[in-house]
Amino acid sequence: MRCCFHPDYEIPLPEGHPFPMRKFSALRDILLAEGLLRPTELVEPTEIDWNDLRMVHEEGWLDALRDGTLTRNQERRLGLPWSPALVRRSRLAANGTVIAAWHALDDGVAANLAGGTHHACPDHGEGFCVLNDVGVAIRTLQREEEIRRALIVDLDVHHGNGNALCFADDPTVFTYSIHGARNFPMRKPPSDLDVPLADHVGDLEYLDRLGESLQIAIDRSRPDLVFLLSGVDVVVGDRYGRLALTRDGLRRRERLAQSMLRHAGLPVVLVLSGGYAATPQLTADLHAESHRVAREVFGPSGEGSGCRASADTAEQQA
Ligand SMILES: [Zn+2]
């Protein structure tokens, strides 16, 4: 499976900052060490063009990012200190999701070892999310007429408010979010399908609710491409999670979601979104579950799924 990664996904943060910046290279190292990822499958993105970001974000937010003129309030809401390196890493990661989306159309599945920054809204950043990478990827592929419709499956424990705002009133993009009802963000603009969960929900209830609701999302959205945001902050003990999935439950969640999407013949882009376990290494190891499952569900390299090829064939037959 081709995976986008850049060493500059990681930037220095102030001592004690809660964002686990080291998880990105740790995940790459785990995937390489376990043979889930071959070095030749690593794809290094460049920084995304500012013009591409304008398809999702408002000029004022992009100007503030480029010029370093965030207000104190904007920076506090973002939760990350502005720096040129932060802007660069955000543009690299956004393009990683765009490139992974192209590869998913060819291979059936591909990944960005970052991204899923679902709290980034058109006019501001929020909750460690600077740019809405999935939004930009969808708009890019729609502009290139590679896809018409997309489905965002957001399994991060926090509601996908940025995605909901980016695609409010857009019938071509279906937003699905299963999340902690009482968790951040406090204001949750409606997704096309929201599945709010009580605090401390465990494996069985979570998997039940996911299975029934995700099928509805697949049936209603009829997408050409799916973005799977496999946030691992649903796991018990997560600093910001408030749910109680076990690691086995996380693995079963990934197997359930990915199998349903694969069964529906849909190409899938895997992105990370959040995770705040005890250490960045543990967070990365939890993110790796999504990749371990993907090799079971989609095969070792994602090759042979041929979603684009089969879609073309289906179109010719139709
Ligand atoms: Zn989260």
Around Cβ 220, how many Cβ atoms within 10 Å? 13
Question: What's the CA-to-centroid distance between 197 and ligand 1, angstroms?
Answer: 14
DSSP state of 235: B
Q: pLDDT digits over 210-239, tens only?
A: 999 999 999 999 999 999 999 999 999 999
Per-residue pLDDT at 309 exceeds 60: no
Q: What is the pLDDT of residue 239?
A: 96
Structure confidence at residue 315 as a pLDDT band (50, 70, 90)? very low
Question: What's the CA-to-centroid distance between 129 and ligand 1, angstroms?
Answer: 10
In whole angstroms, give the CA distance from residue 59 to residue 130.
14
Question: What's the CA-to-centroid distance between 1 and ligand 1, angstroms?
Answer: 25
Name the residue with higher pLDDT: 299 or 57: 57
Question: What's the CA-to-centroid distance between 19 and ligand 1, angstroms?
Answer: 11
> Averaged over 175-192, what is the pLDDT?
97
The predicted model scores a pTM of 0.94
Per-residue pLDDT at 301 exceeds 80: no
Q: What is the pLDDT of residue 310?
A: 44
* 24-38: b (≥16 Cβ within 10 Å) or e: bbbbbebbeeeebbe
> Averaged over 125-148, what is the pLDDT?
98
Question: What's the CA-to-centroid distance between 308 and ligand 1, angstroms?
Answer: 31
Question: What's the CA-to-centroid distance between 315 and ligand 1, angstroms?
Answer: 38
Q: pLDDT digits over 42-59, tens only?
A: 999 999 999 999 999 999
Q: What is the pLDDT of residue 312?
A: 42
DSSP state of 8: G
Question: What's the CA-to-centroid distance between 286 and ligand 1, angstroms?
Answer: 13
Domain count, the chain: 1
Per-residue pLDDT at 107 exceeds 80: yes
Q: What is the pLDDT of residue 299?
A: 87
Per-residue pLDDT at 144 exceeds 90: yes
* Pairing state between β 268-271 and 109-112: parallel
Q: What is the pLDDT of residue 302?
A: 54
In whole angstroms, give the CA distance from residue 72 to residue 155.
30
Per-residue pLDDT at 208 exceeds 50: yes
In whole angstroms, give the CA distance from residue 246 to residue 96.
29
Q: Who's near 75: CB < 8 A, 6+ residues apart?
A: 81, 82
Domain that holds residue 236: 3-317
Q: What is the CATH number of the domain that holds 198?
A: 3.40.800.20
| Alpha-carbon dihedral 228, 229, 230, 236, rounded to 10 degrees | -140
Q: pLDDT digits over 75-101, tens only?
A: 999 999 999 999 999 999 999 999 999
> Averaged over 167-182, what is the pLDDT?
97
Question: What's the CA-to-centroid distance between 303 and ligand 1, angstroms?
Answer: 30
